[in-house]
Homo-oligomer: A and B are copies of this chain.
């Protein structure tokens, strides 16, 4: 700024005015200063600004895994909402590790970011609550707010599980396998709750009607094979599978095929997320769609609102929707 001021033959504070309150500067002076800026190659210094008290142009985003299409999509929503405000997203993946989550949040707080959007994997939210109190606003994503005094945006996972199960029940299935990730992701467990509710509502006993199986998210072939074996070995054998996400369903589909079963004739399969490829599989996958992009968009929106005077924390809950395609059909026993 000093250099610009010198070249333009004005004082630094005039340059400051050109930057922050251009309307206050004489047009002629303004022009001269702007020319000087390009001549000198002036670039505003963000850190100095935040030190001075201007809100940071950076928002943190802490998700399970940036390379996972679901979270990548959420991040695009965040990014796009923030772009209007010339804000940028500082990302981090927790990889399901609570320690890593803490580390990332700490790093973010040290950067004095405008706020943080978190899809927490650590069930203990007190750290987030404190961070918020200390002055870094926090918005929860894909996690119910509970009794926390924070903004949150989520999808009704229980409903999602229920939709999947009710669809299968309506087709006549009475014994259903539920495939979760190998480690407990809260959202996946909530969906299972929805499945159980639907089963109970249909007058079925959960012990009788539900078969649990697990496979890791990374999905080695072995894991898949084991999960499929587990499902096929259950007595009586289930006639349908609900999977924790579409990628998992893809694997299961493959494993089922390898085991010589036809989908949906011998086994129905339901996915979750409605990723792009779901519609293009053969058979096209019945799945539960979530408004991922909007999730991120809304979260960023809430976060920007945090700085407003008189802000009160809110929770937004989106509804998932069932997308019926061809991987589900009545069980063979009924035909």
Contacts and interface: CB of A to CB of B under 8 A. Distances in A.
Interface stretch (A104-112, A167-175, A229-237): A104-112
A118 B275 CA distance: 27
26 contacts: A41-B130, A43-B134, A44-B110, A45-B110, A47-B51, A47-B112, A48-B51, A57-B110, A58-B58, A58-B111, A66-B75, A67-B72, A67-B76, A69-B72, A88-B92, A88-B108, A89-B90, A90-B90, A90-B91, A91-B91, A247-B277, A250-B280, A257-B282, A280-B281, A281-B282, A282-B282
A92 to B, nearest CB: 6
Given A51-B51, A72-B72, A112 B276 contact: no
A289 B50 CA distance: 44
A132 B58 CA distance: 22
Contacts of A257: 282
A50 B49 CA distance: 12
Closest 7 CB pairs of A and B: A47-B47, A67-B76, A46-B111, A47-B50, A72-B72, A67-B72, A46-B110
Contact of A46 (B65, B112, B253, B276): B112
Interface in A52-75: 56-58, 65-67, 69, 72-73, 75
A32 interface: no
B51 A90 contact: no
Interface residues of A, number: 50
Contacts of A75: 66-67, 91
Contacts of A274: none
A29 interface: no
Interface in A21-49: 41, 43-48
